[in-house]
Amino acid sequence: MSKVIVEASDGILHVRINRPDVLNACDGETYDAIADAWDRLEDDPDLRVGIVSGEGRAFCVGTDIKWVKTPAADGYEDRLYPRMLSLTKPVIAAIHGHCNGGGLEQALACDIRVCTGDAHFGSGEVRLGWIPGGYGTQRLPRVIPLGAALELLYTGGRIDADDAYRLGLVNHVVGDDELLDRCRQIAGEIIKSAPLAVQKMKTTVMQGLDMPLPSAVRLEKESFDFLMRTEDSKEGALAFAEKRPPNWKGR
């Protein structure tokens, strides 16, 4: 049985973590397969948006504790999380049930998060004598207020879907049978936008967050000037004037 199921259709790459018997805890093979999928998303011009979800009763409870204590686990985080950090295409997390530890870190690495009402979130590494190894200490305080992030990180506690929405950790809370449909709907709306513009939007926003404002403004101007010279920029204006859908070329 494949530990990760990857399906591509209509410009969307859907990555399903498939270890339901262990609540989608990830070992090295699983992490590598997810990283391979994100390589595919980045490299294939026909793929525009990624969705990641978990099979069974959980999104992902994080790293498989039995596996992480083996020598094979050394450096396991060195590929997946840098790959997600460098992605220029959007990824949406479809979250239900447990989203803890490395599962939360994968969700934090996504651009948009949608969850069901039974979802709960936590970063329990401190209870094992660790700290997060997939950028959780850095991403979580960038997504939710600092005090709330530190409480979760220091205590290893959990929050439910309502608190996650209140804090801005998730964009939407939906019914169980709506989760993937809502994610695909959002992906479809993204796909209507110009592909290069979406990619430049993502890199400009993410890089700009770590820059002083004057430098971030210069980065925005550089991205704007680049896009204004593209064929898609001309096509977008022409399609608007002609009241028709644009025919994006990605160049």
- The model's pLDDT over 150-183, given as tens digits with 9 standing for 90+, comes to 999 999 999 999 999 999 999 999 999 999 999 9
In a domain, 246, yes or no: no
**Residue 105 bears catalytic tag:** yes
Model pTM?
Answer: 0.94
Answer yes or no: do 176 and 225 share one domain: no
Answer yes or no: do 233 and 161 share one domain: no
Answer yes or no: do 165 and 225 share one domain: no
**And the tokens for 217?**
């403004």
* pLDDT at position 68: 73
Domain count, the chain: 2
Residue of 105, 151, 189, 242 marked catalytic? 105
* pLDDT at position 223: 96
Place of tokens 């050394």: 74
Question: Which pLDDT band holds residue 67 (cuts at 50, 70, 90)?
Answer: confident
Domain limits at 208?
Answer: 195-241
**Residue 42 bears catalytic tag:** no
Residue of 125, 151, 222, 242 marked catalytic? 125
Answer yes or no: do 207 and 179 share one domain: no
Per-residue pLDDT at 73 exceeds 80:
no
Answer yes or no: do 40 and 162 share one domain: yes
CATH label of the domain that carries residue 208? 1.10.12
- The model's pLDDT over 224-238, given as tens digits with 9 standing for 90+, comes to 999 999 999 998 999
